[in-house]
Structure 1
């Protein structure tokens, strides 16, 4: 015969045990999320994206205190009154499948080729910009980046002429201060016309260790100097550096980060960081005709995981709007990328609140188009810079 006086304590024991188990599980999950949040600024440039990290980072540590307050009401002061805890079923589902209940894109992102682009946000869209025309990373296997071609003779002539035109005297100057640091995380990215490979169908072949995107950076440095803004242009061969470390192209941002950090330590005058890339799209989507001239279209890319994201957005929007005003159709807009879309949504932009990544043209753009774009960007950036300096001086 069952004793009702012993059954009730047993039932209470199992209820308390169940609640304790739930709290213990939540404690482990949410403490991990809190630890990731606190240490993220130092880990994000090397930490690779994974299912557990993505799941935990979506929830606040307040969730732990919410559930604990059911047993001890003193914990009710640790979370906001209108705070709603995440459903345990949602957390479990994401941990098991990486499917986010509130985001239907996660049902297809890892299964359909190209669908992961929707982890990016078009903050400002330029002419012709939508999710089918946004940039994607160019990170081929290191072994496929072996060439060291000379600049095509016809393109070289255009390049030399642009250098002569840049030798003008600016009305105002930063003097000996080099306030802009220009670098190239994917230094191997090149353009078919520069390599004498016009008409090549495979965009992945637009790579070279000598004739590449660093020429665009050097042109920008010259144009900024002509506008009175001192700059330093880094031309590090990232392919070589990655090979020395035994790293793949997927760790290029970790490599460029060390380069930028060293530069910032050596030059305290640097205020702006510009990482220049080349998109893999073809000519019809990366070329614009403006006032009778042909330009390589450009886009500004920002990382959403950057703690200085809001400040960088302000600068990016101001530059985009000035480009739209003076060179309508040149800017493809401003794109932000989440931590789930690659490189944890950082792109080394936490190193400065005045940091941007720009995609200049695509694989088919030639030196004339690149030169016109660099001049236009320098014109707009210089105007933005001197306006900002005027405000800061007040």
Structure 2
């Protein structure tokens, strides 16, 4: 009996021999893998810290990983999860590449295997336009916004920024206007004839913001505008330059109810012009960018503004259009910074500043009507003791 107890107490031990070729190879491989992971993580971190846009690999990785991505991966492996998971809403359906392999391909190449437009949009002019989706179905809203195409750039379009301009603002502004593509201009007013030359550093879309805010001020609604020059190539990357400005304004101005990034479309005159009360106006597109958590609220705000314009200026609006994540550039349009942000495109290269002025003042009246709705809702909520959403 004693002999058996002694046998049970014996310890077993193993000797690991790292002198062998396979063991050394394994250790070196593991160390190299750890080092590579550390280097890649460091590079991605630097990109994020230095403000790399969504086109950077780090930006695309963060942009691709979401609750939808996790749900997609889980549903591929767990049939019961796929059966019980709630169906995505129409506006949120298929917002990211499906499958791990497809997602990795998108992260490193911008190509989505489920959407051929991500490839064709690079090679065939005009294909990327089809990436816009209409959120306000209407027989009149049949033409999506048009992407800009550049030929040989005239001398006044040198990307070197002009002197920074201080913000134009009033006390406790409720509406903030800025212009990511601030040099977008109008051919009749700058003496040019080719659409790809409709850019100017003085007579440009910034005028629309000034007219809009002046009209609001006349009605008692304070606003502010920044006219910093963000002229940058590649053209879509200007959003990376305007983003810090918007972040700073949002931190400083807590009373803002609406934020407009005002642009000019690139369509032909028959598309970008509307007759209202016998006068020519520059048509309006309301643009919502996908790929950001504020998308549903952004779309709701734009749809309400579009509704007011339909009533007050029938035919002037070309509808609310969204551009999903898979377009060829950063489609957030900085709208992830605030749920009350809308991108507006006024007119096209063949419109005149006089037509843009009429439209800008019309947008101001539409804006005032929307803000009054918000004010009435807040007043009713206070009377009823209900907390209001900001």
TM-score above 0.5, yes or no: yes
CA distance in structure 1 between the partners assigned to 2:332 and 2:369 by the alignment? 27
CA distance in structure 2 between the partners assigned to 1:185 and 1:140 by the alignment? 20
* TM-score, normalised relative to structure 2: 0.68
CA RMSD of aligned residues (A): 3.9
User: Contact between 2:181 and 2:238, CA under 8 Å: does it hold in 1?
Assistant: yes
User: Contact between 1:119 and 1:338, CA under 8 Å: does it hold in 2?
Assistant: yes
Give yes or no for the alignment of 1:277 onto 2:284. Answer: no
Give yes or no for the alignment of 1:305 onto 2:305. Answer: no
Residue 171 of structure 2 corresponds to 176
The structural deviation recorded for 1:248 is: 4.2
Q: Equivalent residues in 2 for 1:219-238 (5 A)?
A: 219-238=211-230
Relative to 1, partners in 2 of residues 1:227 and 1:103: Cα closer, same or farther, differing over 3 Å?
same
1:40-86 deviation line (CA, Å, top 9, x unaligned) = x9999712177x8699669632455567779xxxxx8xx454469x6
1:96-152 deviation line (CA, Å, top 9, x unaligned) = 998766546567444432112222211125665335x423247788875438xxxxx
Indicate which of 133, 146, 155 corresponds to 2:157: 146
The structural deviation recorded for 1:309 is: 0.8
List gaps (5 residues or longer) in structure 2: 1-39, 88-97, 159-169, 381-390
CA distance in structure 2 between the partners assigned to 1:100 and 1:237 by the alignment? 33
Q: Equivalent residues in 2 for 1:287-366 (5 A)?
A: 287-366=273-352
The count of corresponding residues between Structure 1 and Structure 2 is 313
1:353-380 deviation line (CA, Å, top 9, x unaligned) = 1100000001111132112111211111
Relative to 1, partners in 2 of residues 1:186 and 1:390: Cα closer, same or farther, differing over 3 Å?
same
List gaps (5 residues or longer) in structure 1: 1-31, 71-75, 148-174
Residue 266 of structure 1 corresponds to 252
User: Contact between 2:110 and 2:326, CA under 8 Å: does it hold in 1?
Assistant: no
Indicate which of 104, 108, 112 corresponds to 2:124: 112
CA distance in structure 1 between the partners assigned to 2:310 and 2:362 by the alignment? 11
User: Contact between 1:55 and 1:94, CA under 8 Å: does it hold in 2?
Assistant: no
User: Structure 1 stretch 304-313 or stretch 55-64: which is displaced more?
Assistant: 55-64
Give yes or no for the alignment of 1:218 onto 2:210. Answer: yes
Residue 121 of structure 1 corresponds to 133
Indicate which of 46, 57, 60 corresponds to 2:53: 46
User: Contact between 1:224 and 1:231, CA under 8 Å: does it hold in 2?
Assistant: yes
The structural deviation recorded for 1:342 is: 3.9
CA distance in structure 1 between the partners assigned to 2:246 and 2:151 by the alignment? 23
Residue 189 of structure 2 corresponds to 194
The DSSP-based 3-state class of the residue aligned with 1:302 is strand
Larger Rg: 2
Relative to 1, partners in 2 of residues 1:80 and 1:383: Cα closer, same or farther, differing over 3 Å?
same
The DSSP-based 3-state class of the residue aligned with 2:182 is coil
CA distance in structure 1 between the partners assigned to 2:295 and 2:358 by the alignment? 29
* TM-score, normalised relative to structure 1: 0.68
